[in-house]
């Protein structure tokens, strides 16, 4: 398929080797996008590209570690040289390491900051010059409802997601003026290899294909925040506005007993 035959343009999705990123790459390729899929592991990306061979669009594998700024900039340049200007980026790469207060370690924070927070920052630094010059493009920053309020065992993870939410809110007004559509994605629990490791109940758990559909629907809307599933989002937003005393009365029950 050449560029003229693909109606949707070029999309870049980070963290596309598994989970929500992988499902979204397939969904967008099914709708005719030329998808540049990046992640650290090359083999799952190549498998994803093969799976997409019969779809209307394409998936191209670009192995990448988003914690390496120089590599991110080089890969974005390579994607645009090969597939055309990036019309839609979904900065989705991330990880989670639960940590109890009794196991507090700065290394956990550093690891998650590098991937969840700085990985997204590196993507923005690589994308914005071209999009600003074109005065066009869409960027979706994938955070989490865990960024709304501090939750037990998620001190490091929630901090990075809260940082992404704040950053996106701060950038949004200026990027609007420059013709760039910035959106914030706050998923709840989605069934992925990452959440399969959780030993606690996950309310309103979504199947990954349903979550990818909700995300893609949001990307085609004018909404700033794309959040799902709505019932869990509503509960978490309620916690966001409750007084601290009431919030802690709830979250104390979430502390693991062992």
DSSP string, 137-174: -EEEEE--GGGSS--TTBHHHHHHHHHHHHHHHHHHHH
Distance CA 229, CA 10 (A): 27
Strand partners, 140: 90, 183
Largest CA distance in the chain: 59
Active site residue 216: no
Contact between 45 and 65 (Cβ < 8 Å): no
Residue of 157, 189, 216, 232 with catalytic role: 157
Strands 86-91 and 58-63, by their bridges, are unpaired
The residues carrying an active-site annotation are 157
């Amino acid at each position: 398929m050449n560029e003229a035959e693909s109606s949707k343009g070029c999309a870049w999705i980070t963290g596309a080797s598994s989970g929500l990123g992988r499902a979204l790459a397939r969904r967008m390729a099914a709708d005719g996008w030329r998808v540049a899929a990046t992640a650290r592991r090359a083999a799952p990306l190549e498998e994803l590209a093969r799976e997409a061979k019969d779809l209307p669009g394409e998936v191209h594998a670009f192995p990448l570690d988003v914690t390496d700024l120089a590599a991110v900039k080089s890969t974005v340049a390579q994607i645009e040289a090969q597939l055309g200007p990036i019309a839609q980026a979904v900065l989705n790469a991330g990880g989670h390491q639960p940590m109890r207060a009794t196991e507090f370690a700065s290394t956990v924070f550093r690891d998650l900051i590098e991937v969840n927070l700085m990985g997204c920052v590196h993507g923005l630094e690589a994308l914005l010059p071209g999009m600003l010059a074109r005065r066009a493009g869409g960027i979706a920053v994938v955070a989490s409802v865990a960024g709304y309020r501090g939750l037990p065992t998620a001190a490091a993870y929630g901090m990075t997601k809260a940082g992404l939410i704040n950053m996106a809110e701060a950038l949004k007004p200026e990027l609007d003026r420059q013709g760039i559509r910035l959106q914030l994605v706050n998923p709840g629990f989605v069934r992925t290899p990452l959440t399969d490791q959780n030993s606690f109940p996950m309310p309103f758990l979504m199947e990954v294909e349903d979550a990818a559909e909700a995300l893609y629907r949001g990307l085609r809307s004018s909404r700033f925040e794309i959040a799902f599933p709505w019932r869990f989002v509503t509960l978490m937003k309620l916690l966001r506005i409750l007084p601290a005393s009431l919030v802690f009365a709830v979250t104390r029950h979430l502390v693991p007993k062992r």
